Amino acid sequence: MKPRDLIRLALTPSDLMARLELERVRKQPRYTEGTTRLFGKPLKYIDSSSYYFLHEEIFKEEVYRFRSKRANPRIIDGGANIGLSVIYFKKRFPNSRITAFEADPDIALVCKENLISNDIHDVEVHSKALWSHEVVLSFEREGADGGKLATSGENHALIPAVPLAQYIDGPVDFLKLDIEGAEWEVLNSCRKELNSVDKLFVEYHSFANQPQILPELLELLRSSGFRVFITSPSTFSPAPLLEIKSYGGFDMVLNIFATR
């Protein structure tokens, strides 16, 4: 018997069906909308590959899992995408108070639809980018989970951006930032407000052929009273001393966890 067959025998029928459905979605063409079911509820996705990655990262690896001192933690979700992170938070903390931001207007619409279909009606979802101040920015739509502020190319849209600082109006139990390279601008603009944040997750993006601001970001977190832990969700360059590769304009992505 093959190891894969042994794993399948260890799964319950419902677990096996869920894994088979996830595999079905993964094999679909990229950048094609589709529907699946998540915990028995209908869910819409806009890209099979990004859905598979996010599902594994959020629900299997539980990258956003945190311990809260309160039953109704305050959560700010920057870069909510199609809503999987919000659904995860609500499953863990049904009484949590969540404010979510998604810069891509089309994906923000899907996020809102998915929350409604999963019976989540008490989350603020803003179709806006996070930035250091209120402004209209040029946004490059990637069509999945990699949209970012425009630098070159086509498929740009003008989107509203708001400062994160104005939403940190009291204690925040968990701040999540997955905003494709805007993290330094956003965090640097709310140094004072970070004192109200208990735990933080930020996905750091290193722009290819640009100065890296990782030391500045780590110093900002240290001076704000955080202790940081770093992992890598993906490795673009397994041998960077021989060859540096990039993807989507970035040559490195890191998961930074910050706690007090």
Residue 7 pLDDT exceeds 50: no
d(CA 159, CA 228): 32
pLDDT band at 247 (very low <50, low <70, confident <90, very high): confident
Going by the DSSP 8-state scheme, the letter that residue 56 receives in this structure is I
Neighbours of 81 (CB within 10 A): 28
Q: What is the pLDDT of residues 8-61, one digit of tens each?
A: 456 688 788 888 999 999 999 999 899 999 999 999 999 999 999 999 999 999
Residue 2 pLDDT exceeds 60: no
Burial class (CB in 10 A: 0-12, 13-18, 19+), 178: buried
d(CA 95, CA 120): 11
Per the CB < 8 A criterion, the answer to whether 214 and 204 are in contact is yes
- What's the topology of domain 61-259? Rossmann fold (3.40.50)
- Of the ranges 6-10, 154-158, 224-228, the best mean pLDDT one: 224-228
pLDDT band at 6 (very low <50, low <70, confident <90, very high): very low
Please give the pLDDT value at position 23: 94
Q: What is the pLDDT of residues 177-218, one digit of tens each?
A: 999 899 999 999 999 999 999 999 999 999 998 999 999 999
Q: Does this model's pTM top 0.85?
A: yes
For the chain, state the CA radius of gyration.
Answer: 19
| Average pLDDT score over residue span 61-88 | 97
First to last CA, the chain: 48
Please give the pLDDT value at position 3: 53
Please give the pLDDT value at position 156: 78
Burial profile 114-133: b = 16 or more Cβ within 10 angstroms, e = fewer: bbebbebeebebbbbbbbbe
Q: Which ranges in 189-239 belong to alpha helices (H)?
A: 214-223
d(CA 120, CA 85): 12
Q: What value, to the nearest 5°, has the Cα angle with vertex 139 and ends 63 and 153?
A: 110
Tell me the β-bridge partners of 206: 252
d(CA 256, CA 253): 10
